[in-house]
Amino acid sequence: MAALLRVSRNVLLMRNNCVVLSRSMASKTPVGFIGLGNMGSPMAKNLLKNGYPIIATDVFPEPCKELQDIGAQVVDSPAEVAEKADRIITMLPSSPNVIEVYTGPNGILKKVKKGTLLIDSSTIDPAVSKEMAVAAEKMGAVFMDAPVSGGVGAASMAKLTFMVGGVEEEYNAAQELLTCMGANVVYCGQVGTGQAAKICNNMLLAIGMIGTAETMNLGIRLGLDPKLLTKILNMSSGRCWSSDSYNPVPGVMEGVPSANNYQGGFGSTLMAKDLGLAQNTATNTKTPIPLGSLAHQVFRVMCSRGYANKDFSSVFQFLREEEGQ
């Protein structure tokens, strides 16, 4: 009898282990990734590191080759990704790119399977996210917006913050993938609310960076050492992320774009785009954003003066040049 009980227990344990193994294997089914730019590429690599097979595509061959070399499968179009994966993440530069990738002739929705989870981490107009959600629903798929904060460094270290909008019942499924790429995953509400949170964050970021750059420039003109001024700001009420983690003054901090001629990081053209989104949504909701509007103007001028591809912290350099005119 005792022997029979031991056999029964062993069989039960084997069955339970099989169930756990089956669930584990199911969770590691292929994930599609579309958009392998400065942010998308490290995000896709982190999914690979966590054991997820990746099926990827991008308009540029170089990042595709780089990802292929470490184990990803590369295909020619978003539609092909949709044929091979039932969980797809997109990371694209702008609203028109998202519309093309989802609804274009070779778009995701041409081949999407019913039940597919579509997660868009681009920063776009919330209205476009809602349009894509409706289009996806018609095809039996689920669309969620999940824009990110943290920049290229956080993307590389899997420390991004994801702001997620969509059907709450699908949040856990999205969270499983997003936690492989980020340290914080926050559910914001229905589709479009993730984008709303991201736009608000980036408007504040732009205003804060301009304020930090102006402050540092004024202090330097008054004879203060920039490192000393930074130290004082960061132990005082003026402290902010732009002063203590992403200082815009060359020589003050290592490992940030200002230490590398403002290369890498978050481009001024992308900041101008995000501020344009903030301006449009503020206009549509009749919300006054005087400082946000001024920040938008500043970054638009910067883009026309040769700063488009430099990190947005180059506003410090822009102000220095302006004073010399």
b/e 177-211 (16+ beta carbons within 10 angstroms → b) = bbebbbeebebbeebbbbbbbbbebbbbbbbbbbb
Question: And the tokens for 163?
Answer: 């702001």
198, 227, 273, 310: the catalytic one is: 198
- Structural contact between residues 125 and 95, judged by C-beta atoms closer than 8 angstroms: yes
> Measuring CA to CA, how many Å separate 218 from each of 34, 208, 229, 267?
44, 15, 10, 24
* Straight-line distance from the first to the last Cα atom of the chain, in angstroms, rounded to the nearest whole number: 95
- Identify whether 113 is a catalytic site residue: no
Distance of alpha carbon 201 from alpha carbon 18, whole angstroms: 45
**C-alpha dist (Å) from residue 320 to 161, 293, 313, 314, 324:** 32, 21, 12, 10, 7
Rounded to whole angstroms, the Cα distance separating 108 from 113 reads 9
Cα 314 to Cα 318: distance, rounded to the nearest angstrom: 6
Positions marked active-site: 198
